[in-house]
Structure 1
Amino acid sequence: MRIHLTSVFVDDQEKGLRFYTDVLGFRTKHDVPMGEDRWLTLVSPEDPDGTELLLEPSRHPVVKAYKEGLAAEGIPAVSFAVDDVPAEFERLRGLGVRFAQEALDMGPAVTAILDDTCGNLIQIVHTK
């Protein structure tokens, strides 16, 4: 068994697509119209056949409370591995990304938490 698909709820799929591709560097895998929404998945350019990230519309009533609760507590909705958190922090900050937590050495790992502009906190991490 392996993880095939995971999702992050976004307030606006097009806005999410621009942030996750243009800023974070993911690539579109599937973009299929489905009524007023899309089946919109992204992959890492380093693993194009790997786990897909679904940019899931967040209109469902339960999602608002879920997203607001996580953000209020400072809990990331998802975590992405990077090779060097301080370098990625500087790159993303240079692109105007807002961080809720700057690069922090936590012993066995270094983390930072960013705002994805779609209502989510996203953690980036590398292990030592």
Structure 2
Amino acid sequence: MRPIIYPETEELIRNKKQQKFQVRVEEERQSSNRRRGKRKKDTPEEKKAKADARKRRRIEQVSSSSGPVCKSCGQPGHTTSASRLCPNHEYTIKERLGVVFPTSYQLYTVSITLKSFIR
């Protein structure tokens, strides 16, 4: 056995170890009282309550949403901003041209040589 140099410190360490041990023993007692991993069968009343709750959830889910809800704007009727129904929809260049110029429009490109462009 080693010589005790600081008796107060030794006593403090001993008390701390004892407290940790008591806490661990208490936790083991509490965990052993619980049935770990074992399931029990539901009583008929519990089964009925669970079924009623399930039905209520389904009814609320169906009645609350009249279709898909957009993640971008939160409005019903479409799911993403890729849909043209969404106010946050980003139009492609072709779609923008269709909005600005109705269906009767023509695009022209002029072909010129590099020399004439540089002049």
TM-score range, shorter chain: under 0.3
Higher RCO structure (Cα 8 Å, ≥6 apart): 1
Q: TM-score, normalised by structure 1?
A: 0.18
Q: TM-score, normalised by structure 2?
A: 0.19
